Amino acid sequence: MPKSSPDGPLLLAFGAHPDDIEFGCGAVIARETQAGHAAHFVVCSRGESGTHGTPAKRTREAEKAAKLLGASIEFAELGGDAHLEPTVAHTLQLAAIIRRVRPRLVLAPTIVENQHPDHVALGRMVRDAARLARYGGVAELKALSPHAIGQLWFYAVSFDAEPADRSSVLMDVSAPTVVAAWTAAMRAHASQAKTRRYVEQQLRRAQLHGGRCGVSHAVPLFPNDAVVCESLATFGRAARQF
């Protein structure tokens, strides 16, 4: 687990279930860790309500997947699978994690309604927790120094979870080593592949997004706030410029 320091990991990724991070943004994680940036996962249930796989098995799968992506991992207890509910207590619990880990960037599920309700609940709580983590006067967080993240990015676990009301940033994840690590991490969740072709679905979704911008694979991220940039020269190209 990352230690608390001003130079915490670049990425802190939250997932409602043991496989959400891998399916939704695992390629982005692989791209960053292979570039030498540290990443840490917080999984907020153990798949207790899932049809396939026991909580113990799904915990092991998540730990294996995180290792394949080069990330560290911990589990947060927020009521369990299918019971995540936005509450002040849970939001403060997540804010405390943000203060302890001290990331530059945070990833969380989108808050589009038509998806698993746990994804929506967690996305909202992480959004609020990132704000509360900045406030020095929050009594429940006094044991940890305030921390302001650089940006909150939402990831989607499916096409239906991609917000229609905001533009995305397409992350080029085409490098063969990135695709290989991502695929291996998704396949680590073997219990979830018994009835649905989740791995193939995610790879196809990334290929379709890649086709939008002229690369083999791309993953969309959605900023919670306007992105501030010091120079236009630091921006990449537009998706149609290929």
For residues 167 and 158, give the distance between their C-alpha atoms in angstroms, rounded to a whole number: 16
State the pTM of this model.
0.94
- Strands 105-109 and 39-43, by their bridges, are unpaired
Is pLDDT of 18 > 50? yes
3-state secondary structure 121-188: HHHHHHHHHHHHCCCCCCHHHCCCCCCCCCEEEEECCCHHHCCCCCCCEEEECCCHHHHHHHHHHHHC
For residues 48 and 74, give the distance between their C-alpha atoms in angstroms, rounded to a whole number: 16
pLDDT in tens, 152-188: 999 999 999 999 988 899 999 999 999 999 999 999 9
Predicted local distance difference test score (pLDDT) of residue 6 = 52
Average pLDDT over residues 45-71: 93
Q: Which residue has the tokens 């860790």?
A: 33
Region of poorest pLDDT, from 27-36, 121-130, 228-237? 228-237
Q: Burial of 77 by CB count in 10 Å (0-12 exposed, 13-18 middle, 19+ buried)? A: exposed
Predicted local distance difference test score (pLDDT) of residue 236 = 84
For residues 176 and 235, give the distance between their C-alpha atoms in angstroms, rounded to a whole number: 24
pLDDT in tens, 62-91: 999 999 999 999 999 999 999 999 999 999
> Which residues, 6 or more positions from 240, have their beta carbon under 8 angstroms from its beta carbon?
213
CB 50 within 8 A of CB 81: yes
Domains and CATH numbers, the chain: 11-234 (3.40.50.10320)
Average pLDDT over residues 10-14: 97
Predicted local distance difference test score (pLDDT) of residue 3 = 39
Is pLDDT of 44 > 70? yes
